[in-house]
Amino acid sequence: MSGRYPDEVDVVIVGSGPAGATYARILSEEAPALTIAMFEVGPTVSQPPGAHVKNIADPGERSRAQTLSEGPHAQESTDRVGGIVKTSQRRARPGTFLLESGYQVEGEDGLPVAAMSSNVGGMAAHWTGACPRPNASERIALLDADGSLDRLLDEGERLLGVTVDAFDSSPYAELVRERLAAAEDAGRVASTHIQRMPLAVHRRGDGNLVWSGSDVVFGDITRSNARFTLWDESRVARVLIEDGRAAGVVVTDRRSGENSEVRARFVVVAADALRTPQLLWASGIRPDALGRYLNDQAQIVFAVRIRDLEPSGEADAPGATGLSEYSGVTWVPFTDAMPFHGQVMQLDASPVALAEDDPAAPGSIVGLGLFCPKDLQSSDRVEFSDVETDGYGMPAMTVHYRLTPRDREVIARGKEEIVRLGKAVGEPLDERPFMMPLGASLHYQGTTRLGASDDGDSVCSPQCEVWGVPGLFVAGNGVIPTATACNPTLTGVALAVNGARAIAAKSAES
């Protein structure tokens, strides 16, 4: 994790989240002769590097790992407060940090709680692990015609360690699914019935849950690859372009302040959907679609108490990660007729104060969340300044973002649907559902979207190579070109598999 940067490698990967880790893993498997340098702007906060912080048993150590992930000023602040709350106050979830400015332009909706993480493993050290497959209009038609999308999704599930049985012992999981199915399954095809959520999590032999982070994506084959090295606290400031193609990067050691050039045949920018286009912009790589088609998923939440429930003596004690398990995680799949993706799971605490003598059984408070797809428009975008900089010294961002009339109609319908589904499970704890501040989903997409041709509406090819810049690849959720409601990580990893294989093939030809 330390030492002088190499002068030259075959592949540079910028960012250590699941998409960047996918490039390292696939290249380690399919092109093991290549030398790979991965640079991460944030620190190492967990072991093995990139592991999910939920796997840290000690609450104090877990909190410290989250704090260290909270951006360029993480170690300077003494009053950081995580957790988005139901007020007008802007707060970040633990392990993330908000845009300090530029998150909302006057007269627009903006993304008031747009957030990022800076740490080895990226947001995958803090995520919920939900890995549903896209369905219907969420799917990428360009990759769907020959069945390649499903093959890539299969690979994504392998790399992320996706399972559906981790919560099978939860005492209320089947009850929740049965009640939701009775209210929702009619008219749905079997593949979109109410079901267990695919999760990047598995259960150890001692019964404790292990959540997947980038460490799982790396796998032993990457960690044992002597030609792969990961440098943390290393800020890539610019991609080098020579003779029209990627030639390496300029990287700053954040500990010493030393600047270095690292030459490479291929460069993969896998920062996130906000910082990947930022780095391209800073490098003078500015295709028309860069930063455009930015989309978030409006998130509606509702809470109920499971109806007619006898207290269960099971799952009373939290596991090593402090999580009690009662109702599991249930999936309401997206369909074009029901354009929402739903997650239903036990809440750690009731959002409504309960009386001390309230007989609610432990684990009986269930949260429902519906994610709404965005009406895509080119004008929803992140712009970058040529003058002002952010806390890392990179071009400052300004978000332009508006909900369309169609978006507002979908959100209004989502509020009705979540109440209907909630009442099927139990008794509502509040009269109305709540829409989280825009940006709360952390599912930003579209800013480096792929396309069939260099027509000005896409940044990269289906193999994720930037149009007009051979050897430069982009990765992560920003590459997804469709309006999705489902969690995007699985799809982002699947697309990274496609790009990594393209590099392996090109390297074999040269």
* Whether 53 contacts 130, CB under 8 Å: no
Alpha-carbon radius of gyration of the chain: 22
**Cα torsion for 211, 216, 217, 219, to the nearest 10°?**
180
Pick the closest to residue 6 from 35, 31, 49 (CA basis).
35
* Whether 212 contacts 200, CB under 8 Å: yes
E-assigned strand segments in 20-125: 36-39, 97-98, 115-116
* Token pair in block for residue 96: 């993330």
149 phi and psi angles, rounded to 5 deg: -60, -45
Which stretch of DSSP H or E encloses residue 30? helix 18-30
Pick the closest to residue 266 from 509, 461, 471, 463 (CA basis).
471
- DSSP per-residue letters across 378-399: TTSEEEEEEEEE-TTSSEEEEE
Helix (H, G, I), strand (E, B) or coil at 403: coil
Q: Tokens 């979908």 label which residue?
A: 410
Rounded CA separation 457/291 (Å): 11
Contacts of residue 431, defined as CB under 8 A and 6 or more positions apart, other chains included, come to none
Pick the closest to residue 499 from 7, 4, 13 (CA basis).
13
Cis peptide bond N-terminal to 488, omega within 30: no
Residues marked active site are found at 443
Task: Give the Cα-Cα-Cα angle 160, 164, 169 (nearest 5 degrees).
Answer: 130
- The upper half-sphere exposure of residue 123, i.e. CA atoms within 13 Å in the direction of its Cβ, equals 28
Rounded CA separation 275/122 (Å): 12
Please report, as a single letter, which amino acid is at residue 351. P
Rounded CA separation 229/233 (Å): 13
Distance of CA 273 to the CA centre of its chain: 9
DSSP one-letter code for 274? T
Helices (H) and strands (E) in the chain, counts: 9, 20
Rounded CA separation 183/332 (Å): 11
Helix (H, G, I), strand (E, B) or coil at 370: strand
Q: Tokens 């029901």 label which residue?
A: 338
